[in-house]
Structure 1
């Protein structure tokens, strides 16, 4: 006969086994918890040590060769972490990111995130968000993160950027959009607070700086896109504090590009002079738009010393040959 309550034992065992407890490894930085390897799926019971405001997971393979596997960052996981201000989860296989409202800094680079989810009824605190090298097809929900100052979106699958995305981000200073596929950018609604804008190696086909106001912009990188024309006067009017502007390696007519670079040079704005530089040979130097053969400069004393050494070597060779000849003819 089955003992009383024996039917409940398997359920109890499953319940116990389903709860996973993680501990921090020894780390020299105070208030930072580093977990070498962990796994999480929605619905899983999980616990973390309390008292840490910086949680770091998935930066390298663990000593036993296992990698982290965190498919989803959700509110349950964040609560189990005791709501730290900083969370870093890179290369953990994450596919879905539900942004925690209390998070201040988040690094979720090098994952497989295709879904970025927010609650439009909440006010988000996050100021820094790294989503480099993921699989985001669109970034519409970023507009809810109104306190963002820096966002990294390099190497995603972004094919279009809606006008509503960046307009609410009135504190945004640094925007990184390298290696994406969008062909246009909503210039007129970019935040006036932008200091750094990087669209290197993308698919931009045109830029229009009319009615654009970027009074704080200091760095602009549009290199290696598909831009065929650019009005440098409008650019400088839109961004009067510009210090660096990289515009080369676009299919802009050479005469127009030369004029753009001339204006930038006159304004002491750092820039790249374009394709010419790539065609200089290894022993050439790029000077004022031309490849110039480098000439080695040798001092008189060094030249005299080299001459003396050459003469001594020549005399030594003659002596050796004479000695060998004498030995043969003995």
Structure 2
């Protein structure tokens, strides 16, 4: 049975901690639908038909640690939509239709360790969009339409261990774009349009996936990897 519409009176269970509404056919959310659920720690809204989110829809969910919006039809995000989710550690936005991100959209998410943005239609990233995500360990940007990256876009992600950038349209990388990623162990770059060598200085890099080939580097002295050059293969 599918729930296509949600009434405000349905969710006045103030002690609820987990709410799973995935795999329904929800076409919209009323703006105050979750305002009574102040104890909620997990909200699953994946695999619905949401084209947008009302401003303030998550503002009372200050205890939520996981929010899943995967496989909807989101075309944009309201500015500040996640600002009250200060305890969030896991945010899933993959498999939507996002073409851009508002500047500062993730600035309040200082506890997030995983952010999934893969399988969207992002053409560019705002400068500094990830700067406040200093606890992030995994960032997925696979299968977007990124043609370039802003200089310093990953500089604050010093805890990042995995970065997926494969299946984009990247033609070049800014010099030093990965230099601050000292904990990075896995990097995906295949199926881009990189036409030149791209120097790396990721001292702990263990797996490098480039074009349709997988290059696995294993070593006992990670500092030997300073200045790895990536050559995309046809």
TM-score range, shorter chain: 0.7 to 0.9
Structure 2 segments unaligned to the other structure (5+ residues): 215-230
> Do the aligned partners of 1:129 and 1:150 also contact (CA within 8 Å) in 2?
yes
For 1:216-261, what per-residue CA distance to the aligned partner results, in whole angstroms no more than 9, with x for missing partners? 1111000000111114633122x211111111211110x325x55x
SS at match of 1:245: strand
Distance 1:147 1:116 in 2: 20
Partner of 2:11: 78
Normalised by the size of structure 2, how large is the TM-score? 0.77
Q: CA deviation at 1:124?
A: 2.1
Q: Tell me which residue corresponds to 1:222.
A: 165
More helix by share: 1
Distance 1:157 1:247, change over 3 A: same
Contact 1:201–1:223, Cα closer than 8 Å, also in 2: yes
For this pair of structures, how many residues does the alignment match? Answer: 204
Aligned mates of 2:175, 2:163 — CA distance in 1: 12
Aligned to 2:72: 134
Q: Measure the CA separation in 2 of the matches of 1:128 and 1:86.
A: 10
Over 6 Å off, 4+ runs:
none
* RCO higher in structure (CA 8 A, sep ≥6): 2
Q: Please tell me the root mean square deviation across aligned C-alpha atoms, in Å.
A: 2.5
Superposed, 1:67-216 pairs within 5 Å as: 67-72=1-6, 75-79=8-12, 81=13, 83-97=15-29, 98-100=33-35, 101-102=37-38, 103-117=40-54, 118=56, 122=60, 124-140=62-78, 141-186=81-126, 188-190=128-130, 191-210=133-152, 212-216=155-159
Q: TM-score, normalised by structure 1?
A: 0.56
For the structure 1 residues 250 and 107, does the alpha-carbon distance in structure 2 shift closer, same or farther, using more than 3 Å as the test?
same
| Distance in 2 separating the partners of 1:245 and 1:193 | 18
Could you tell me which runs of 5 or more consecutive residues in structure 1 were left unpaired when the two chains were aligned.
Answer: 1-66, 278-288, 290-330
Determine which structure has more spread, i.e. the larger CA radius of gyration.
Answer: 1
Q: Distance in 2 between matches of 1:121 and 1:274?
A: 41
